[in-house]
Structure 1
Amino acid sequence: MGVVAATAVTPDTLPPDILFERVVENLPAPELEIANTDDLPFIQVEQIRTGDTLQAIFTRLGIDDAEALNHLTASDEGKQAIRMMRADRTVTAVVSPAGKLLSLNLPMGNTAQDLVLERGDKGLALRNSTSAEQSTMVEMRSGTITHSLFGATEAAGLPDNVATQLATLFGTWIDFRSDLRKGDRFNVVYEAIYEEGNPVRAGRILAAEFINNGERYAVVRYKGPSGREQYYSDDGRSLQQGFLRTPLEFSRVSSNFGRRLHPIKGKWREHNGTDFAAPTGTPVMASSDATVDFVGKQRGFGNLIILKHRNEITTYYAHLNGFAKGLSKGQVVSQGDVIGFVGCTGWCTGPHLHYEVRIQGRPSDPMTVALPAADSFSAKELAAFKQDTAPLRQRFALLNYEFADAR
């Protein structure tokens, strides 16, 4: 083994026979042309907010251009893009110092397409364009219940659509109307879609954990033996084969199952379902995998959908404002598919969903009846499931450690 040593040598230590001469040369200053920045346009980037209008976005972008605004709102392409505006998507504009719009990229919903408005020599023109390349990141959030689920998800910075997914996933076990307790916790691992370094929307939940009244529930997304991605509990039961307690986004129960005074007939009658008060147009989902048995009008039910499930179970969805496009008898639907929309048809006094569960033709309370759970994996499949999903479930431990450390 050889060793090489290096030492620093300074001019003061050099031998005296080496002469040094300082050379100084004066260089002329470079000729610079100072640009007039008053004429340069600005590139502005702004995120769409919930409930935004195009006028509000123009204001935040510093655009004062009635012609451009009218061009968008008057054209069919512009109207479609405005209808498809989604919160958290990114709008990019090039704006002159005077506020005139030179170009605008308006995202088309959650697709990779943009509607581009440009000002050229011939005036304003519209064209379609593929938006900037998007990347998917994995993000984690956790929260603690103080008053309500959606209050806690908002405080944790969880996007609205992820919060809705969370309520749907755990709706099989937890009644978010009555089961929540102060101090309940949740952990969520989900996809976040980025565009040019900016978050534009949230994607699917990859894994989630909910501690309700001291009892732990957890789900992970996994591609099972059938090759279809589904959500499974920790012990390998598919949530897709369970039943949602509430077949629409979290809402208020306006009438429970059982005997009641009929609001129209004025007589005491059996109420064979649960009523969920919700605004007209609220999407209604299939509570489990099923075949459409009936879709149409039926007396006091108004617009009605009947789904036939396994084990001689049927579910009724009544008073609907309308049906999902193309829905027909004999069609196969999956849990969570939108089948209709809340309304007030038939005998009703306000917009709501009347939801029934019938087992072998007999009505049962949708909120309390024991519904069939999912089948488990085989021993071999369960071992593969646990091994493949271990990295996702380990993230729960990290989030719980950070929570305990914060306390």
Structure 2
Amino acid sequence: MLFRVNGKFPANMDFPIDILKQRAPDCNGAVAFEGASGYNGSMMARPRSQLLRSRRIVLLIVPILLLAAVLAGRYFSSRKTVTEVPSSFRDQTLSEAQEVQVNINPGDFCAAVLERGGMDGHEAARLIADVRPVYDLAKIRSGQVLTLFFEKGLLRNLVYPIDRDSFLEAWRGSGGGFRGRVAAVSYDVRRETVRIRIENSLYEATLASGEMMELFEPLSRMFEYDVDFNRDIQPGDMVSAVLEKKYLNGRLAAYGDILAAELLNHGKSIRVVRYPSPGGGMGYYHPDGRSTRRMFLRCPLPFVRVTSRYGRRRHPILGYSRQHNGTDFAAPYGTPVRATASGVVSGRGRDGGRGNYVTIRHANGFASHYYHLNRFAGGLRVGLRVEQGQVIGTIGSTGLSTGPHLHYGLLKNGRYLNPLRLQSPSVAPLPKEKIVEFQTYCHLVFTPILRPQANPLPANIPINAGSLPLEAGNVRDPR
């Protein structure tokens, strides 16, 4: 129904266009207003534009309202309110709960992993928030496995391995919320002796010995200041170590500290013992109290092959002879490259010859160069201080290079040195007042290694020599 005010329609009225067209259409399709003196078809422009704007607004608002309704429906339909978990639920053992293991993939975030494992989205958000004061689940790493335990459709427990020695355990509290703690893995730690006979390389010998390969790197690092495992090893050399082995459910799961080790290299015995350093922390020392650590590592790579030595040579790409001011080490792409001494990064960049390169300034006028890198370590920049052994990049073949390798150069007061012939100075030894106690400990800790065997030692067979003879009330264990 149409209303008139003093014989006219109100100017601000939204008109029902279809009704008006049915009421009085003219020959041009315009609308004439009955009894509306002074109005004609041209006067419809203003209300028509207002109606079109109104329709556009409606078309914009309606989808938003529909989307909000759908989301609200999902929220209220899937939301689970738990005010009190039944005592029977809490008293059940984990073996009676439904166990779900979820692999964490690259790019995953915790809420998605929990939902993939069967948790409700709101429950997952609550779990993450509740345990954040104990451990931030945003730090989960790909390759790990999240273990969930369900009872009556609700998450009861969660277990996440933070690292090899600790894990997060979360559980549902009596009020429906979650609690958590970080706990140590309950390993059965045993002190044992391992002997490895070397025929070609320490890497191959460790692999053939039946030991886990993670033993190779810490074992080789104990001797890296005294022996070049790429050049000095002879067939028949022997490595023996007293170490901690960590067992879980009766199976070897990890290694602990290497307490002492001996390398018989071409008939020469090199012994190293782990012992507290005067300045704090732990260090490695020879039985006479000298530190094994030197100012420079013998090599910036854990295991390599020398492909080009220091001196004059014919360049493999340029084709003419010139001085080679460094040593080239071949290694697979991605092999970590370590700083051979502590210092400050003085150069980081890329050019046509050196490729990706890093230069480090050290104390006493020394500097080291690392060329042809594939990648730089994250955060590496000029002016950054790096420590000896810190990874600064990875092996590549950038610049003038015929394959993946590292060019390692060393300078003293601006003059190049042969890195393989450097006589690196040692760091401070143990104080004299500590020597007697230290040597007594050395005698005890090396006893399993020096104990004569009844039968000849088969090649590459690890030997279990039992616990260390460290009795209570005797010399203290320095760990």
TM-score range, shorter chain: 0.5 to 0.7
- State the shift of 1:283 in Å: 1.0
- Of the three residues 200, 211, 223, the one matched with 1:170 is 223
Q: Which amino acid in structure 2 is aligned with residue 133 of structure 1?
A: V
Distance 1:265 1:183 in 2: 41
Aligned residue in 2 for 1:402: 453
Asked if structure 2 preserves the Cα contact closer than 8 Å seen for 1:191 and 1:204, the reply is yes
Aligned counterpart for 1:294 among listed residues 333, 346, 349: 346
Work out the CA distance in 2 between the residues paired with 1:74 and 1:294: 35
TM-score of the two chains, using structure 1 as the length reference: 0.68
RMSD: 3.8
User: 1:342 and 2:375 equivalent?
Assistant: no
Deviation of 1:163 after TM superposition, in Å, equals: 1.2
Name the CA shift for 1:162/1:395 in 2 (closer, same or farther; >3 Å). same
| Structure-2 residue corresponding to 1:376 | 429
What SS class does the counterpart of residue 227 from structure 2 fall into? coil
Give the Cα–Cα distance (whole angstroms) in 1 for the partners of residues 363 and 425 of structure 2.
9
Q: Which residue of 1 aligns with 2:306?
A: 253
- Taking only the aligned residue pairs, the percentage that are identical comes to 35
Aligned pair count reads: 328
For 2:387 and 2:456, the matched residues in 1 are separated by: 41
User: Counterparts of 2:296 and 2:401 in 1: how far apart (Å)?
Assistant: 26
User: CA contact under 8 A between 1:344 and 1:352: conserved in structure 2?
Assistant: yes
Query: For residues 432 and 454 of structure 2, what CA distance do their matches in structure 1 show?
Result: 34
Give the CA deviation at 1:298: 4.9
The CA deviation string for residues 278-319 of structure 1, in whole angstroms up to 9 with x for no partner, is 22221111223x112324115322322223333322221222
Gaps in structure 1 of 5+ consecutive residues: 1-40, 44-62, 95-101, 117-126
Question: What corresponds to 1:217 in structure 2?
Answer: 270
Corresponding residue for 2:356? 303
The answer (yes or no) to whether the contact 2:167–2:182 under 8 Å persists in 1 is yes
Amino acid at match of 1:206: L
Higher strand share: 1
Gaps of 5+ in 2: 1-93, 114-137, 150-155, 171-178, 459-479
1:138 aligned to which of 191, 197, 200: 191
- Asked whether 1:160 is paired with 2:213, we answer yes
Equivalences for residues 323-334 of structure 1 within 5 A: 323-334=376-387
The offset of 1:184, in angstroms, is 0.8
Deviation at 1:368, TM superposition (A): 2.2
Q: Which digits, 9 at most, give the CA deviation of each residue in 1:335-376, with x for residues without a partner?
A: 322222212233222221111122222212212232223343
Please identify the structure whose Cα radius of gyration is greater: 2
Residue 241 (structure 2) aligns with: 188
Deviations 1:43-84 (A, max 9, x none): 9xxxxxxxxxxxxxxxxxxx9x9xx77886884345986744
Structure 1 pair 338/212, CA: closer, same or farther in 2 (3 Å)?
Answer: same
Cα distance in 2, alignment partners of residues 394 and 243 from structure 1:
31
| Structure 1 pair 74–272 and aligned structure 2 pair: CA distance change class (3 A) | closer
Q: In 1, distance between residues paired with 2:328 and 2:454?
A: 38
Corresponding residue SS for 1:182 = coil
**Secondary structure in 1 matching 2:214:** helix
Q: CA deviation at 1:214?
A: 0.6
User: Equivalent residue for 1:313?
Assistant: 366
What do residues 74-121 of structure 1 show as CA deviations (whole Å, max 9, x unaligned)? 843459867445xxxx99899xxxxxxx999663443523699xxxxx
1:76 aligns with 2:109: yes
Residue type matched to 1:110 in 2? R
